[in-house]
Amino acid sequence: MSEPKNPQLQGSQSDGSAAGGWPALNAVNKHLLHQHILLKGNRTLLSMNKPDGFDCPSCAWPDPKKPHTFEYCENGAKALAWESTKKRVTPEFFAQHTVSELATWSDHDLEDQGRITEPMRYDAGSDKYLPVSWDEAFAEIGQELRQLSDPWKLELYTSGRTSNEAAFLYQLFGRLYGMANFPDCSNMCHETTSVALPESIGVGKGTTTLEDFENADAIFIFGQNPGTNSPRMMSELHAAARRGASIISFNPLREKALVRFASPQDPRDMLSRSGVKISSQYHQVRIGGDMIAVQGICKAVIEADDAAQREGLPRVLDVAFIDEHTHGLEPFADYCRQLPWEIIERHSGLTRQALEDVAAVYMRSERVICCWGMGITQHKRGGDAMQQIINLLLLRGNIGKLGAGACPIRGHSNVQGDRTMGIYEKAGEPFLASMSKVFGFEASRKGGHDVAEACEALLRGEVEAFISMGGNFFRAIPDIDVVCPTVSRLKMTVLVNTKLNRSATVHGQKAFLLPCIARSELDMQNGVAQTVTVEDSMSMVHGSTGMLEPASKHLISEVAIIAGMAKATLASNSKVDWDSYVNDYARIRDKIEAVLPEQFYDFNQRIKEPGGFRLPNGASERTWNTASGKANFLFPEGVFDEDDTPPGADHLQLMTIRSHDQFNTTVYSNDDRYRGIYGDRMVVMLNPQDIERLGLKAGDYVEFQTALDVTTPRRAPGFKVIPFDVPQGCCAAYYPETNGLLPLANRDSRSNTPAAKSIPVNLVRMNPEEAQVALQRRGLIAAAS
Ligand SMILES: Nc1nc2c(c(=O)[nH]1)N[C@H]1C(S)=C(S)[C@@H](COP(=O)(O)OP(=O)(O)OC[C@H]3O[C@@H](n4cnc5c(=O)[nH]c(N)nc54)[C@H](O)[C@@H]3O)O[C@H]1N2
Ligand SMILES: Nc1nc2c(c(=O)[nH]1)N[C@H]1C(S)=C(S)[C@@H](COP(=O)(O)OP(=O)(O)OC[C@H]3O[C@@H](n4cnc5c(=O)[nH]c(N)nc54)[C@H](O)[C@@H]3O)O[C@H]1N2
Ligand SMILES: [Mo]
């Protein structure tokens, strides 16, 4: 149970113990204490993810209809602890530190200062943020925006914690202003899913519900680390494993919770501490090897079906489903039949036997769910890989029946809802026509910028103002060392945040820091507590009502901030009564219903149902909103030629991943308990044979150099080598410390999602002193403490 006191870095995650269990509960307590909060009888934690409570500000896993007493997880509790911290960032704090100084602080130290208490405005003379009144801030923001040379020179960024109500008003504001530049965090996350899934099955969202998880015979998990990133999913996986369902994981790393998990809700586990074996098969696929691995599984299934036909045995494929519901099986089947096993083995890093073992489970299971996360989406061929997963499901009719389906696991708690609300730079005609009609204006039909395009516009000098609704844009994006220096040229940057983060130090000539009320806090308008709504990974929409006293009496809600900016900017030419929306959020929901009546009819009534309501999802009813009117078997041709060098042959493939103690760019601590790494995030996890091959040894310091586009050198110094159980040619390091290495152009070609899981890199040895100096300079080791 105890963690090593002065640990040697080693990355030994194979000690046989289970993830979860008592250490998870202890970790909750530790983090609450660090933020000066007590766990015992904590009413706030008990209200999280309950029908009349608030939605956890962490991941997008759905809430069960009958919640457990503790419907939160270790990492949800950490997120809440960091949100409801007693620490404060006051005007006095800002008076003591210049922005140039804050820029040298670590991500952890910046956020650990606590909640921002008052609106602040940057003062260039003193290089400090000084307090400003809300009225003054809005007036100045409005004035700046009215003076931009062109409405398209504004970018409105959204991070996925923003509620439906705030997101809807935010895009209304942007469209009334006359543009559609809505980069959002989804563009760095599941955009691949939003683009590739509709081509295959006509909907950009998952098709499963929690009930499907209760009925699945097999669950395949590709490139996702639920023990850390959606721990409440572990309840479903744990229950599935207990009842004998097969769980098969594909991941270059043996993520501890996918190996064994002890459920803090299960007394048997808590007594024995050894937990339950989760994955019945674990395949350490090479980074980026999933596409061809899945084609290998499909090949085995198709060939088994060919054999059954020859021998007059029952068919392996669900022929009735394929005939009625799909298009394009034959070319795909032929492609798989002709794909040589040597190529499959070389590119996936998995053996034919291993893939045939997966196929055997797939063929004997009536109901199969495939889940995926960033290990699939953040690749240059992410969309192609995902479409192979869909092909696999289609072969045996595993979409649109109980216990089966496609399950992309979204990241932020409302990232899916924000898109539904129109945070979409390429929104379709029906939505734009409806917005125009309901609000009496003509919304521009021109497409705007996603994250990658916003970054390119910044590089071209075509952005004048940037507003960010939550998040940490200038830390989360690719190519930070190239993009961030351009920001000082902007006329204005505005950050609406709860906490201090690095984006506050990357600012325009005018800059505002506008702190808002958080999800867990009471949002009182006219004496009435307001409810907001969110949509989870399974298209369930439900209400969320905060209960804590806001962190400061000066805070206002995101809705009020958006309305304040909109009123000051659009002034007299807006017919929208912003104040009426701020006074009663139910009126915003009425407008959402008016714009999207098929999805949100009786919106205000239906959010009162426990667990909320599910948005319509064609594919899960087997209606296919695709060009062919059917579900499509899609595959890229000619990707793997005989002499194509597999990844890792001449350089390493770097995947940038999350530790157990971070939420995206919010770093809770330098530990990564499940991977056995303590006290340091500046590490590179490497295969022992690669360490030897490169003439390195454990504990050496190295500089990463991106092995792409040599005209722009991209380097990240000061990473310590640790031997790790990762396939040869692959290595792992943490995000966001590595975000300078990721070239903007290295992205999924259809969705523009940055390929954060495959950055070709070389490693160059450094001496420890050089490494220390480099880290200090980049603000990557604690400067404040
Ligand atoms: N506590 C916590 N919860 C979170 C977050 C957080 O940071 N902290 N972030 C939230 C957000 S926004 C998101 S998007 C999700 C992210 O949740 P995940 O999708 O789990 O994200 P990652 O940790 O980036 O990486 C996922 C896994 O992909 C594996 N992987 C990398 N490359 C490949 C590959 O080529 N193939 C395969 N098969 N696997 C690969 C990695 O080893 C890792 O286990 O979590 C959300 N929830
Ligand atoms: N290399 C690499 N880069 C990546 C990734 C990767 O795996 N590798 N992952 C990508 C992914 S999946 C994502 S989603 C993005 C994440 O990118 P973002 O969503 O932009 O980043 P976060 O770190 O989640 O944002 C944290 C900040 O949000 C603010 N915040 C928290 N709660 C609230 C709130 O209630 N309201 C408001 N207004 N602000 C709030 C706090 O000030 C906090 O500092 O990063 C992407 N970047
Ligand atoms: Mo994400």
pLDDT in tens, 720-772: 999 999 999 999 999 999 999 999 999 998 999 999 999 999 999 999 898 88
Hey, whose CA ends up nearest to atom 32 of ligand 1? 375
pLDDT digits (tens, 9 = 90+) for 195-233: 999 999 999 999 999 999 999 999 999 999 999 999 889
Contacts with 244 (C-beta within 8 Å, 6 or more apart), sequence order: none
pLDDT at 264: 76
Q: Is 229 in the pocket of ligand 1 (CB under 6 A)?
A: yes
Q: How confident is the model over 312-348, as pLDDT tens digits?
A: 999 999 999 999 999 999 999 999 999 999 999 999 9
Q: How many CB atoms lie within 10 A of CB 364?
A: 10
| Ligand 2 neighbour 613 (Cβ under 6 A) | no
How much is the CA Rg of the chain, to the nearest whole Å? Answer: 25
Q: What is the pLDDT of residues 245-287, one digit of tens each?
A: 999 999 999 999 999 998 877 778 777 778 899 999 999 999 9
d(CA 23, CA 261): 12
Q: Check pocket membership of 778 for ligand 2, CB cut-off 6 A.
A: no
Ligand 2 pocket member 374 (CB < 6 A): yes
Measured CA to CA, the distance from residue 47 to residue 712 in angstroms comes to 50
CA–CA distance, 603 with 533 (Å, rounded to integer): 10
Atom index in ligand 1 nearest the CA of residue 228 equals: 1
- Residue 20: the pLDDT is 82
- 164 and 379 Cβ atoms separated by less than 8 Å: no
The ligand minimizing its distance to the Cα of 659 is 1
Between 42 and 676, where is the model more confident? 676
Closest among 494, 544, 596, 668 to 134, alpha carbons compared: 494
| pLDDT of 640 over the 80 cut | no
Distance CA(414)–CA(533), nearest Å, equals: 9
Query: What is the 664 CA–ligand 3 centroid distance (Å)?
Result: 8
Q: What is the mean pLDDT of the chain?
A: 92
pLDDT tens-digit readout, 337-382: 999 999 999 999 999 999 999 999 999 999 999 999 999 999 999 9
Is the pLDDT reported for residue 38 higher than 70? Answer: no
260-262, strands of its sheet edge to edge: 19-20, 260-262, 276-277
Q: Is the pLDDT of residue 234 over 90?
A: yes
The yes-or-no verdict on residue 57 having pLDDT over 90 is no
Predicted local distance difference test score (pLDDT) of residue 43: 66
Which of 307-311, 612-616, 764-768 reaches the highest mean pLDDT? 307-311
Q: Measured in angstroms, how far is the CA atom of residue 229 from the centroid of ligand 3?
A: 10
Identify whether the C-beta of residue 594 lies closer than 8 Å to the C-beta of residue 441.
no
pLDDT score at 17: 81
CB-ligand 1 contact for 287 (6 Å cutoff): yes
In this structure, how many other beta carbons lie within 10 angstroms of the beta carbon of residue 407?
Answer: 25
Give CA–CA dist 505/4, Å, rounded: 35
406 Cα: distance to centroid of ligand 2 (angstroms): 25
Model pLDDT, residue 495: 98
Interval between CA 159 and ligand 2 midpoint (Å): 6
CA distance 727 to 716: 22
Ligand 1 atom closest to the Cα of residue 160 is 12
Ligand 2 atom, smallest distance to 469 CA = 38
**DSSP bridge pairs for 495:** 468, 513
Nearest CA among 708, 731, 664 for reference residue 189: 664
Starting at the earlier edge strand, list the strands of the sheet with 510-515: 128-131, 120-123, 510-515, 492-497, 465-469, 154-158
pLDDT of 79 over the 90 cut: no
Q: Say if ligand 1 is within 6 A of residue 72 CB.
A: no
Find the DSSP H helices in 41-181: 43-47, 74-83, 91-96, 99-102, 107-111, 134-146, 164-177
User: Distance between CA 92 and CA 98 in Å, rounded?
Assistant: 12
Q: Return the structure tokens found at 168.
A: 């809807």
C-beta 223 within 6 A of ligand 2: no
Ligand 2 centroid – CA 161 distance (Å) = 9
User: In whole angstroms, what is the distance from residue 57 CA to residue 37 CA?
Assistant: 17
* Residues 621-638: tens digit of each pLDDT: 999 999 999 999 999 976
pLDDT band at 11 (very low <50, low <70, confident <90, very high): very low
Residue 641 above 80 pLDDT? no
Whether the Cβ atoms of residue 556 and residue 133 lie closer than 8 Å to each other: no
- The pLDDT assigned to 575 comes to 80
Of the bound ligands, which one is closest to the alpha carbon of residue 58? 1
Beta-strand pair 683-686/730-734: antiparallel
715 three-state secondary structure: strand
What are 644-666's pLDDT values in tens digits? Answer: 455 555 799 999 999 999 999 99
Coil vs helix vs strand at 443: coil
Helix (H) or strand (E) holding 106: none
Q: Identify whether the C-beta of residue 180 lies closer than 8 Å to the C-beta of residue 157.
A: no
Q: Is the CB of 673 under 6 A from ligand 2?
A: no
* Side-chain-facing half-sphere of 76: CA atoms under 13 Å: 29
Backbone conformation region of residue 400, classed left if phi is above 0, alpha if psi is from -120 to 50, else beta: left
Distance of CA 740 from the midpoint of ligand 1 (Å):
19
What is the C-alpha to C-alpha distance for residues 7 and 776, in angstroms, rounded to an integer?
22
Token representation of residue 30: 């530790």
Does the Cβ of 612 fall within 6 Å of ligand 1?
A: no
* Shortest-distance ligand to the CA of residue 373: 1
Q: Check if 667 has its Cβ closer than 6 Å to any atom of ligand 1.
A: no
Residue 280 C-alpha to ligand 3 middle, in angstroms?
28
| CB of 75 shorter than 6 A to ligand 1 | yes
Task: Please tell me if the CB atom of residue 229 comes closer than 6 angstroms to any atom of ligand 2.
Answer: no
* Pocket of ligand 1 contains residue 255 by CB under 6 Å: yes
Evaluated on CA atoms 467, 473, 475, 481, the torsion sign reads negative
Residue 192 Cβ < 6 Å to ligand 2: no
Q: How many Å lie between the centroid of ligand 3 and the Cα of residue 412?
A: 6
655 CB near ligand 1 (under 6 Å)? yes
Quickly list DSSP for 721-756.
Answer: EEE-S--TTEEEEETTTTGGGS-TT-B-TTT--B-T
Q: What tokens were used for 753?
A: 């999602």
Query: How far is the centre of ligand 2, averaged over its atoms, from the C-alpha of 593 (Å)?
Result: 28
Which protein residue has the closest C-alpha to ligand 1 atom 11? 411
Alpha helices by DSSP H, listed for 19-133, are 21-34, 43-47, 74-83, 91-96, 99-102, 107-111
Ligand 2 proximity of 163 Cβ (cutoff 6 Å): no
Q: Which of 251, 392, 661 to mutate to test the pocket of ligand 1 (most atoms within 8 A of CB)?
A: 251
Query: Please, what is the end-to-end C-alpha distance for the chain in angstroms?
Result: 28
User: Does the pLDDT value for residue 447 go beyond 50?
Assistant: yes
Please state, for a pLDDT cut of 90, what percent of the chain lies above it.
80
Give the residue whose CA is nearest to atom 3 of ligand 1.
229
Mean of the pLDDT values across residues 697-712?
A: 93
Query: Does the beta carbon of 24 lie inside 6 Å of ligand 1?
Result: no
472 lines ligand 2 (CB under 6 A): yes
d(CA 258, CA 19): 8
Longest alpha-carbon distance in the chain? 84
pLDDT band at 785 (very low <50, low <70, confident <90, very high): very low
Contacts of 645 (CB under 8 A, 6+ apart): none
Beta strands in 255-399 (DSSP E): 260-262, 276-277, 281-283, 326-327, 368-372
- For the CA atoms of 735, 739, 743, 749, the dihedral, rounded to the nearest 10 degrees, stands at 40
Number of neighbours of residue 126 by Cβ within 10 angstroms = 12
Strand partners, 81: none
Confidence of residue 573 (pLDDT cuts 50, 70, 90): low
Domains of the chain: 19-83 (no CATH), 87-177+433-612 (3.40.50.740), 209-403 (3.40.228.10), 652-777 (2.40.40.20)
Gap between the Cα atoms of 58 and 583, Å rounded: 27
Q: Burial of 762 by CB count in 10 Å (0-12 exposed, 13-18 middle, 19+ buried)?
A: middle
Contact between 407 and 368 (Cβ < 8 Å): no
DSSP, res 179: -
What count of residues does the chain have? 785
Among the ranges given (89-98, 130-139, 184-193, 762-771), the one the predictor scored with the smallest mean pLDDT: 762-771
Ligand 1: which atom is nearest the Cα of residue 374?
Answer: 19
Read off the pLDDT of each residue in 22-28 and give the average, rounded to a whole number.
Answer: 77
| Number of the ligand closest to the Cα of 374 | 1
The region, left, alpha or beta by phi > 0 then psi within -120 to 50, assigned to residue 677 is beta
Q: Which ligand is nearest to the CA of 451?
A: 2
85 lines ligand 2 (CB under 6 A): no
**Does residue 370 have its Cβ closer than 6 Å to ligand 1?**
no
CA 523/CA 163 separation, integer angstroms = 13
* Ligand lying closest to the C-alpha of residue 112: 2
Q: Work out the pLDDT band at 545, boundaries 50, 70, 90.
A: very high
pTM of the model: 0.94
Tell me how far the alpha carbon of residue 189 lies from the centroid of ligand 3, in angstroms.
Answer: 4
Residue 4 clears pLDDT 50, i.e. is over it: no
Q: Is 288 in the pocket of ligand 1 (CB under 6 A)?
A: yes
Q: Which of 416, 497, 657 to mutate to test the pocket of ligand 2 (most atoms within 8 A of CB)?
A: 497
- With tokens 């499940």, the residue in question is 674
pLDDT of 684 reads 98
Q: Does residue 656 have its Cβ closer than 6 Å to ligand 1?
A: no
CA separation for the pair 776, 779 (Å, rounded): 5
Strand spans (E) along 159-227: 218-222
User: Which ranges in 68-119 belong to alpha helices (H)?
Assistant: 74-83, 91-96, 99-102, 107-111
Torsion over CA: 373, 734, 6, 26 (sign): negative
**Residues 6+ positions from 28 with CB-CB distance below 8 Å:** 39, 74, 77, 78, 81
CA of 128 to the centre of ligand 1 (A): 36
Q: Is 267 exposed, middle or buried (0-12, 13-18, 19+ CB in 10 A)?
A: exposed
Which pLDDT tens digit goes with each residue over 386-407? 999 999 999 999 999 999 999 9
